[in-house]
Amino acid sequence: MPVHEDNLDLPTHEDAVGASTIPGSIAHCTPMQTSTTLDNKLGVKAYIKCENLQRMGAFKFCGGYTTVSHCKDTASGILAYSSGNHAQAITLASKLHGIPSTVIMPKDAPPLKLKATQSYGGNVDFYDRYTEK
């Protein structure tokens, strides 16, 4: 059955504010940087959020951690589908919560992403993106 927009519980501003506090001291407080070259090219003062310095190297950690936090009391495991940063975020967040995780990854996922996902304790099941749906 397709999900229709009128059946969704859309997040509110209060939901977003509440979610922003969940990673708390678990996530890194990443710095903001500026670039004179970028400022001059764009004609604005640009600020760059260095989320490459976040745990597991991407902003997806905060969302993954928040999602797993909502499931931690009822989940016996976490299942995700990703070939990269989302896989790492979910497996690291699951590890931090003591919940086993499995990620469905394409066989041709980048080797570094696969290795990182496995290093965070995620089980990986492969599929062929060209022959399997």
**Catalytic residue list:** 60, 83
Phi-psi region of 109 (alpha: psi -120 to 50; beta: other; left: phi over 0): beta
Three-state SS for the chain is: CCCCHHHCCCCCHHHHHHHHHCCHHHCCCCCEEECHHHHHHHCCCCEEECHHHCHHHCCHHHHHHHHHHHHCCCCCCEEEECCCHHHHHHHHHHHHHCCCEEEEEECCCCHHHHHHHHHCCCEEEEECCCCCC
Distance separating alpha carbons of residues 124 and 106, to the nearest angstrom: 10
